Amino acid sequence: PSSTVSLSTGDLTVGGVPLAEAAERFGTPLYLLDEDEVRTRCRTYAHAFPDADIRYAAKAFLCRAMARWVAEEGLGLDVCSAGELELAVAAGVPPERILLHGNAKSPHDLEAALRLGVGRIVIDSPSEIARLAAAAGAARTRVKVMVRVVPGITAGAHEKIRTGTGDQKFGLSVADGSAQHAVARVLTQPDLELAGLHCHLGSQITSTKPYLAAVRRMVGLMARVRDTHGVVPPELDLGGGHGIAYRPGEPALDVPALARKVRAELIESCATAGLTVPRLVIEPGRAIAGPSGVALYRVLTVKRTEAHTFVAVDGGMSDNPRPALYGVRYAPRLVGRHSYAEPAPVTVVGRHCEAGDVLAAGVPLPGDVRPGDLLAVPAAGAYHLSMASAYNLVGRPPVAAVRDGAVRLLVRRETLEDLRSRDIGS
């Protein structure tokens, strides 16, 4: 699934660091992030989309180091809360390179966005327009906004992560005219500046086709805005959603091909509509963080029933809720085994108190897998820790960065004391 995370059989290393050594030093469960892989992925985007604004979707994974790495590579950030925003700014991301999303932005989110001077606020509902205009007026600032449009395109790996068509909570539909209506309202607000139109089709998309369809629809809408209001929004944000391989042999979205085709489609659609080509914005999250991360677990028990071998590890749905939420399948590997003698299909389960806490089903692991073994799960960098919980009062795992054969801690383990200290009741 990734170029520098070397996970064949054997001693298994990431960024030149043996996984067993990292586990020894920081304990398990542990998440390792390959800094070079993150930076390489940022550069792939920067080279493929030299004229675009690239906004890393912080919801995939965020900590101060991650924010700093992507900013150093010239990217900005897509954030969707005051929490993500404050962390990004504290890490040194220039606020004008930050874009705020959210279908239900809290007063605190908007206050932080105006105070810190984010580059764009993406409007997701009609009521937000008046709220934002009032807040901008009170703060005596003019805010650049985008309108999030539902273009009517079905894409995305799972129903829960599809946002390009109706019947989900995000955006304003072209089909029922609410997108056009929102644009009209924004244009009447002196304190709001319409910077562009936005759409996000969904997530874990591995084909370029839906993006090309989105370009055509969005350019069509831009032309209608021009015809109705005599103005052309200068930017077009196509969101993120670029898919990655979770298991060997799975397809990933080809980023350079996407860039080439999107550019060609944009030029052609704009020429047909008689529009100047808008500035492109993209928001990849998973494709930058996902393949750059590895989760490490210790095997605690092995239980053989008539039908299954259950290998239980010391993490589970609290640090990776994705299999339970979306039925995603991973390809775990055993660390330190030079051959997979007699591989047997096993079910890797977590330690949590519910039967659905399954990390991987029917995966081949050595038949003699035993307690104490170390298990590595590749492609674990996106939407694991950012969606982690402390279910069963199990603290969230630490994050360490690997680079040039060295490993350093970025985020420490959540301790029982951390968890207990929040409970101030008698």
Q: Is 383 annotated as a binding residue?
A: yes
Q: Is 102 annotated as a binding residue?
A: no
Does the footprint of ligand LLP cover residue 125 (CB under 6 A)? no
Smallest separation, CB 67 to ligand LLP (Å):
15
Q: Is 241 annotated as a binding residue?
A: yes
Task: Restricting to residues 139-168, name those near ligand LLP by CB under 6 A.
Answer: 161
Which of 164, 285, 332, 398 is the binder for ligand LLP (CB under 6 A)? 285
Smallest separation, CB 287 to ligand LLP (Å):
6
Q: Is 10 annotated as a binding residue?
A: no
Does the footprint of ligand LLP cover residue 318 (CB under 6 A)? no
Does the footprint of ligand LLP cover residue 284 (CB under 6 A)? yes
Q: Is 283 annotated as a binding residue?
A: yes
Does the footprint of ligand LLP cover residue 323 (CB under 6 A)? no
Smallest separation, CB 56 to ligand LLP (Å):
9
Of the candidates 63, 80, 270, 353, the residue annotated as catalytic is 353
Smallest separation, CB 48 to ligand LLP (Å):
14
Does the footprint of ligand LLP cover residue 233 (CB under 6 A)? no
Does the footprint of ligand LLP cover residue 135 (CB under 6 A)? no
Q: Is 72 annotated as a binding residue?
A: no
Task: Restricting to residues 166-225, name those near ligand LLP by CB under 6 A.
Answer: 200, 203-204
Task: Restricting to residues 364-383, name those near ligand LLP by CB under 6 A.
Answer: 383
Smallest separation, CB 151 to ligand LLP (Å):
13
- Closest CB to ligand LLP among residues 55, 298: 55
Smallest separation, CB 198 to ligand LLP (Å):
7
Does the footprint of ligand LLP cover residue 322 (CB under 6 A)? yes
Three-class SS string for the chain? CCCCEECCCECCEECCEEHHHHHHHHCCCEEEEEHHHHHHHHHHHHHHCCCCEEEEECCCCCCHHHHHHHHHCCCEEEECCHHHHHHHHHCCCCHHHEEECCCCCCHHHHHHHHHHCCCEEEECCHHHHHHHHHHHHHCCCCEEEEEEEECCCCCCCCHHHECCCCCCCCCEECCCCHHHHHHHHHHCCCCEEEEEEECCCECCECCCHHHHHHHHHHHHHHHHHHHHHCCCCCEEECCCCECCCCCCCCCCCCHHHHHHHHHHHHHHHHHHHCCCCCEEEECCCHHHHHHHEEEEEEEEEEEECCCCEEEEECCCCCCCCHHHHHCCCCCCEECCECCCCCEEEEEEECCCCCCCCEEEEEEEEECCCCCCCEEEEECCCCCCHHHCCCHHHCCCCCEEEEECCEEEEEECCCCHHHHHHCCCCC
Q: Is 391 annotated as a binding residue?
A: no
Q: Which of these segments, 14-22, 29-37, 278-286, 411-419, binds ligand LLP (CB under 6 A)? A: 278-286
Is 63 among the catalytic positions?
no
- Closest CB to ligand LLP among residues 280, 369: 280
Which residues, 6 or more positions from 283, have their beta carbon under 8 angstroms from its beta carbon?
54, 55, 56, 57, 78, 99, 200, 237, 238, 239, 240
How many residues touch ligand LLP under the rule CB under 6 A: the total is 22
Q: Is 330 annotated as a binding residue?
A: no
Would you please indicate which residues are annotated as catalytic (active-site) residues? Answer: 353
Name the residues that contact ligand LLP, by CB under 6 A: 57, 59-60, 78, 101, 161, 200, 203-204, 239-242, 283-287, 322, 326, 383, 387
